[in-house]
Amino acid sequence: MAYSLALRIGGNEADAEEVLVDSFYQVWKQAGRYDASRGTVAGWILNIVRSRAIDTLRSRMRVARSEKKILEGEEVFAVVAPLPSPEKQAIRREEQAVVQEAMQELPEDQRLVIDLAYFHGLSQSEIATQLGQPLGTVKTRTRLAMQKLRRMLMQE
């Protein structure tokens, strides 16, 4: 589950693996901080993985902005990740098409919060602020959308 979450957010296997290593190292170091009254161990671990994956995604976005500056003629140093094999790229495109199709089936308000959270890396608080809606509404829409997506993707 943790790997799948990291892969969904980050979009590539190398980043997902790195996120997993960092996350489980953090779990090991901070095991004493786990509070059973706040949720399950799995939920706690997945929250750490999600945070790490979003951090990695944001970092990659900074690199992409730097690459854009280079293409526009500005002098910036950038690190570029290697491309996956053509076979992995084809599999990835197929998976993306399935997810995009499932996303189109969601009501617009639910699709928007999922897009902002999982594809733009915003927290639920940031989404609430950006949309001018209560945090509880954003949380409910996210939960409903995730449940619908799970059902649709399990049918695939």
Count of domains in the chain? 2
What CATH number does residue 142 fall under? 1.10.10.10
Per-residue pLDDT for 92 more than 70? yes
- The DSSP code sequence of 93-143 is HHHHHHHHHHHHHS-HHHHHHHIIIIIS---HHHHHHHHT--HHHHHHHHH
Q: Find the angle CA(64)-CA(97)-CA(61) to the nearest 5 degrees.
A: 10
Domain boundary among 82, 108, 131: 82
- So what's the pLDDT on residue 107? 93
Give the number of residues written for the chain. Answer: 156
pLDDT tens digit string along 100-147?
888 899 999 999 998 888 777 788 898 999 999 999 999 999 999 989
Whole-number Å distance between alpha carbons of 95 and 12:
12
Q: Find the angle CA(7)-CA(86)-CA(4) to the nearest 5 degrees.
A: 10
Asked whether residue 59 falls in the same domain as residue 111, the answer is no
Asked whether residue 143 falls in the same domain as residue 105, the answer is yes
Domain boundary among 62, 82, 102: 82
Whole-number Å distance between alpha carbons of 16 and 6:
5
Residue numbers of the domain that contains 66: 1-82
Asked whether residue 14 falls in the same domain as residue 74, the answer is yes
Q: What is the pTM of this model?
A: 0.47
Asked whether residue 29 falls in the same domain as residue 77, the answer is yes
Whole-number Å distance between alpha carbons of 25 and 120:
25
Asked whether residue 43 falls in the same domain as residue 96, the answer is no
Q: Is 112 exposed, middle or buried (0-12, 13-18, 19+ CB in 10 A)?
A: middle
